[in-house]
Amino acid sequence: MERKKTSIEGTRIGFVVDLTAPQEPFEQVSGLVPKAVTRVGNEYAYVVASGLEKISKHEEKLMEESKTAVIDALCREDKADFSFFNRAKAIAAASLEPNVGSGRANFFSYVVAHDTAGYGPISILLEDRQNIEEMEINAPCAPINIYHVRYGRCTTNLRFRSEAEFRHAINKFIYDTDKELGEDSPIIDAQVENARIHAQIKPYALSGAVASIRLADNRVVGPDYLVGKGTTNFHVLAYLWLATEAKKNIVVAGSPASGKTTCLSALLSFVPKTEKIVTIEEDVNELKTKIDINMTVSLYGSRYGRKKVSTREQVINALRMRPDMLVVGEVRGEETRELFSGANIGVPFMTTMHSNPDGLDIIRKLMVSPMAVETRSLCMLDLAVYMKHVDLSKRVLSDAYEYKWLSRAETETMGTEIEGSDSVTLLKIVDNGELAMEQLMNSKVIEAYSKKAGIQKKAAIGELEKRAEFLRVLSESCKNSSEMLEKIQSYGW
């Protein structure tokens, strides 16, 4: 498929900044153009250039003329010698200032620069990415919503003029990928500039066009990040460290945006550096691993476009690579059966899935279509960790359950009957964010680690305490997650 040119085109400004009467801001955001969070009734609004007077029709025409001047100049100059955005802004300002004055010209040139050298309203919002978790476009010309780290969902005063302008901005944003939103591929998933984007157009988007752009940083996520954000504590992390070393099969479950992938990335810190990890993700790469420490192979699956390679196929391929650990970004379909079948022949796994915070709910979901894990493989589930989104900016590791199966001789007690003549008993090992210390003597993780290390259970619990303290000291002494990860990898060597 021949890619369309998506650099700079057209003379009309492709988006609108709706300027209204100034409102008292809750929080002022500085930048090239000031932004503010304000309250509108019981809701919050994220306002770009709050307080400026409404743009007149005459000023709109002047902006469009300046855009033509910018396009003409940039197409003739050597772009390697200057900042593309700053040069576009300077050219537009020079064209506008004689007609509207320096104050208005500064804002208008900012809009023109984002429309030509940036991604329109998307790049305007990217300027405040430390405060914005997600951008939501629910219709081509509807106001863009954001999810703010402190105020939750806010309506902005930015919107596209048409579906064509929406598509143009999205394709500029994903230009460095092998994807293009269009009639041949009306649904896309992509990852660019530390952001994950999902977009759809007609006929699948009934409103004409929708998009969700989730922002993330590129840092290596370690255990210190989870503790620093209040997600969990050192004792829970030490327990998960032992579970990882004992090669237990772990599912991190929860609702969307509850921190599942972040938690899974942190758990990869505990995989010994001598072991080979194969990670599999679909359409985007969200798992942050330290490749130069772990022997890591990353595979990619895609549901969209002509290059369709399913996650299920990649799980099967991964099993041929002699992995010590399989890590799947998220399971939702047939790949789940292959993952559990692999565990049944000795290849442990970690993954995430959407599930209610109930120990049995995850089993029920795994048993039915489209996952439909066979009972003989279902018993390979060892540990489920549940993430919860408790407020606007905080995710917590709320609960964790161990599963003991009659068919694996892990329990003699008849617990919950599973279709297919199996029975499982549940041990709630993390309750409301705290490790249940009184349950550790009954823990299958402690038992498995003690057998692996050739020590008694009490000694294994002592090792858990030792590692919790080790993590605490590291969090205080290490400069960043990468340094902490290296120290963890060297533990015991």
Which of 225, 45, 217, 262 is CA-nearest to residue 148?
45
Retrieve residue 372's tokens. 């439909």
Judge whether 464 and 238 are in contact, CB under 8 Å: yes
Three-state DSSP at 165 gives helix
pLDDT of residue 12: 83
Q: How confident is the model at residue 451 (pLDDT cuts 50, 70, 90)?
A: very high
pLDDT of residue 6: 44
Matching residue, tokens 């992995």: 323
- One-letter identity of residue 487: K
Q: How confident is the model at residue 431 (pLDDT cuts 50, 70, 90)?
A: very high
Tell me the CA end-to-end span of the chain in Å, nearest whole number.
Answer: 52
- One-letter identity of residue 335: E
Domains and CATH numbers, the chain: 15-160 (3.30.450.380), 223-489 (3.40.50.300)
Rounded distance between C-alpha atoms, residue 157 and residue 448, angstroms: 56
Q: How confident is the model at residue 218 (pLDDT cuts 50, 70, 90)?
A: low
pLDDT of residue 4: 46
Judge whether 300 and 281 are in contact, CB under 8 Å: yes
Mean pLDDT, all residues of the chain: 87
More confident residue, 293 or 492: 492
Mean pLDDT is lowest, of 309-318, 341-350, 431-440, for 309-318
More confident residue, 72 or 254: 254
Percent of the chain, pLDDT > 70? 90
Residues 127-149 have pLDDT tens digits of 998 889 899 999 999 999 999 98
Highest mean pLDDT pick, 51-60, 77-86, 157-166: 157-166
- Arithmetic mean of pLDDT, 63-86: 76
CA 166 to chain centre: 23
| Alpha-carbon torsion angle 161, 167, 172, 178, nearest 10 | 170
Query: Is the pLDDT at 9 greater than 80, yes or no?
Result: no
Distances (CA, A) of 165 to 32, 120, 160, 207: 23, 9, 6, 15
Rounded distance between C-alpha atoms, residue 426 and residue 454, angstroms: 26
- Arithmetic mean of pLDDT, 164-176: 93
Rg for the chain (alpha carbons), in Å? 26
pLDDT of residue 3: 47
pLDDT of residue 192: 84
Query: Is the pLDDT at 414 greater than 50, yes or no?
Result: yes
- Arithmetic mean of pLDDT, 411-437: 87
More confident residue, 297 or 350: 350
User: How many residues are recorded in the chain?
Assistant: 493
More confident residue, 217 or 450: 450
Q: How confident is the model at residue 392 (pLDDT cuts 50, 70, 90)?
A: low
CA atoms 372, 375, 379, 380: torsion sign = negative
Residues 26-42 have pLDDT tens digits of 777 777 788 888 887 77
Judge whether 6 and 14 are in contact, CB under 8 Å: no
Peptide bond connecting 203 to the previous residue in cis, omega within 30 degrees of 0: yes
Q: Which helix (H) or strand (E) holds 458?
A: helix 457-477
With a CB cutoff of 8 Å and minimum separation 6, the contacts of 183 are: none
Rounded distance between C-alpha atoms, residue 137 and residue 119, angstroms: 14
- Arithmetic mean of pLDDT, 425-431: 95
The angle at the Cα of 161, spanning 200 to 144, to the nearest 5 degrees, equals 60
Mean pLDDT is lowest, of 14-23, 207-216, 231-240, 333-342, for 14-23
Highest mean pLDDT pick, 262-271, 288-297, 384-393, 482-491: 262-271
- Arithmetic mean of pLDDT, 116-126: 93
Residue 247 gets which letter from DSSP? T
Judged by phi (left if over 0) then psi (alpha if -120 to 50, else beta), residue 55 lies in: beta
Rounded distance between C-alpha atoms, residue 307 and residue 282, angstroms: 12
- Arithmetic mean of pLDDT, 84-110: 88
Q: How confident is the model at residue 1 (pLDDT cuts 50, 70, 90)?
A: very low
Rounded distance between C-alpha atoms, residue 138 and residue 117, angstroms: 24
Residues 200-213 have pLDDT tens digits of 999 999 999 999 99
Q: How confident is the model at residue 81 (pLDDT cuts 50, 70, 90)?
A: very low
- Arithmetic mean of pLDDT, 166-178: 91
Q: How confident is the model at residue 50 (pLDDT cuts 50, 70, 90)?
A: confident
Residues 279-330 have pLDDT tens digits of 998 766 677 665 455 577 888 776 665 567 888 999 999 999 999 999 999 9
- Arithmetic mean of pLDDT, 409-436: 87
Mean pLDDT is lowest, of 69-83, 100-114, 178-192, for 69-83
Rounded distance between C-alpha atoms, residue 444 and residue 427, angstroms: 9
pLDDT of residue 466: 97
Judge whether 433 and 232 are in contact, CB under 8 Å: yes
Query: Is the pLDDT at 250 greater than 50, yes or no?
Result: yes
Rounded distance between C-alpha atoms, residue 214 and residue 134, angstroms: 4
